[in-house]
Structure 1
């Protein structure tokens, strides 16, 4: 089945990078070459690799996945993704399904017996094996890309997505998936905090204020935030700032001082130090290096 999935993805991914499929929240990721670690803000999603191998790094934690493995991300996380195995003859091919809380909630009542629910917050990222029944559901969704009838995709894609969510909810990562949809879960509170930081990353934020906005004590907020994201709230904010500054310099040709100022740094020297600590090079040299690569490796 995995070979069949790879064949379908190869036919429906015309270029390296992210290929839209015409099915809501479903994209194909393709690369014909290995890449450098590329920092991105990864949204909640589940990623199924059909061919090749990739490593995703959160803080100092590495998650490697390949065919018959899947990556699940339950909260917006600043990660670095690196394709380890890919070639023109055997490109890296991955099917990414973005996770929609309402769709998950719609399946939860029938999928999860109350006795096995776990309310304890967990890391917002994990890698698991793909069971045969889950792979079958993924393949059924992918096969809709080969249908010549738009009505097939309109009617059957939501059913195939529902089966995938059902299989995931019953599997090893069911608790992570379920907490995405629960309004009162600790993960939901951390998600709200993440949204606050992302919307105001250029401002000086007080952890006490964020904790109050998500109805948590400061100590509980610190503990749960680090459990889910592998970093403190201020470290998370720093990652978002530096990623945005890098995007401005590469995509909009903004100079380093202006980019640092626009994301909240008052000192150019501090911005350069923290940038080099994160990316391994000072801003100017890093941007020159990234611009020398194919655009699909950093877009």
Structure 2
């Protein structure tokens, strides 16, 4: 089979497991399947260390002024937790948008890169936290086998870790390898920044100074900010602000909080500042934005 035939087979495999529209969990927590019957509105969300594959249809990602289209037959690798704006651009009931997302294990990545003894990436090549490349038949086939193993009660437990490692090997040695090898070879700086990113995700409502975050990473303030922006594409302050605003949006939409309650919950002392920064990020003041989301019945993730 050629690559297009492998992609068609992968699409049929996903639709065999999940036909209705929506975001679907699988027996493997790291793997989710996604189907849309129509284009979606741009939504703010956070992409983690993961591989996202567009099997049919198309979507568009934007972050920090970068606009990245991802079409059928392409894979997108995100190497760090990153606030983005994402929306499906091509989908219909007869030709739905079909995709999968596989979260990658950082420890397995480091171990596998070490075992392969790969060359370190050239230093003067600019690192990007998101990369998009065409699928090849080997990676497509490995992903198909991973999905099929979800319903294999006899061999799934033994074979799934092997297929996951195969996928990481193929990523390291394929077009995405430059970004993954950069992440793996950065060693301590990258791992320390990732620890801070994880801490921020769980403690974003706390009042924190940038120097405190630098101390958590065991770096000077200047070095910390430099490494943080290299890895995430944004400054620590902007990253924290985006986390807070997205959580506030969740709380208003899902739990019925008003803007004052939500802003206080996520760490804002000034409701006016919250409203101003919310409007800048989401395009509308809090109340109007939530009304729009409820009217359109849009998920915010």
TM-score w.r.t. length of structure 1: 0.91
Question: Residue 9 of structure 1: which of 8, 11, 14 is its match?
Answer: 14
- Whole-Å Cα distance in 2 between the matches of residues 229 and 106 of structure 1? 22
SS in 2 for 1:46: strand
SS in 2 for 1:2: helix
Mean Cα displacement is larger for which, 126-135 or 230-239? 126-135
Deviation at residue 27 of structure 1 after TM alignment? 1.1
Question: Residue 32 of structure 1: which of 37, 49, 57 is its match?
Answer: 37
Deviation at residue 77 of structure 1 after TM alignment? 1.1
1:192-271 equivalences in 2 (<5 Å): 192-271=195-274
Mean Cα displacement is larger for which, 213-222 or 136-145? 136-145
Asked if 1:54 is matched to 2:59, the reply is yes
Q: CA RMSD in A?
A: 2.1
Deviation at residue 128 of structure 1 after TM alignment? 1.8
Question: Residue 107 of structure 2: which of 89, 98, 102 is its match?
Answer: 102
1:163-178 equivalences in 2 (<5 Å): 163-178=166-181
Asked if 1:132 is matched to 2:137, the reply is yes
1:179–1:188 CA contact under 8 A, matched in 2: no
Aligned residues: 295
In the TM superposition, structure 1's runs of 4+ consecutive aligned residues that sit over 6 Å from their partners are none
2:39–2:90 CA contact under 8 A, matched in 1: yes
Question: Residue 77 of structure 1: which of 65, 77, 82 is its match?
Answer: 82
- Whole-Å Cα distance in 1 between the matches of residues 270 and 178 of structure 2? 43
- Whole-Å Cα distance in 2 between the matches of residues 112 and 86 of structure 1? 42
- Whole-Å Cα distance in 2 between the matches of residues 182 and 230 of structure 1? 18
Asked if 1:66 is matched to 2:71, the reply is yes
Mean Cα displacement is larger for which, 31-40 or 178-187? 178-187
SS in 1 for 2:296: coil
TM-score w.r.t. length of structure 2: 0.90
Deviations along 1:155-195, whole A, 9 cap, x unmatched?
A: 22222211111100112322433455679343212212212
Structure 1 unmatched runs, 5+: none
Structure 2 unmatched runs, 5+: 1-5
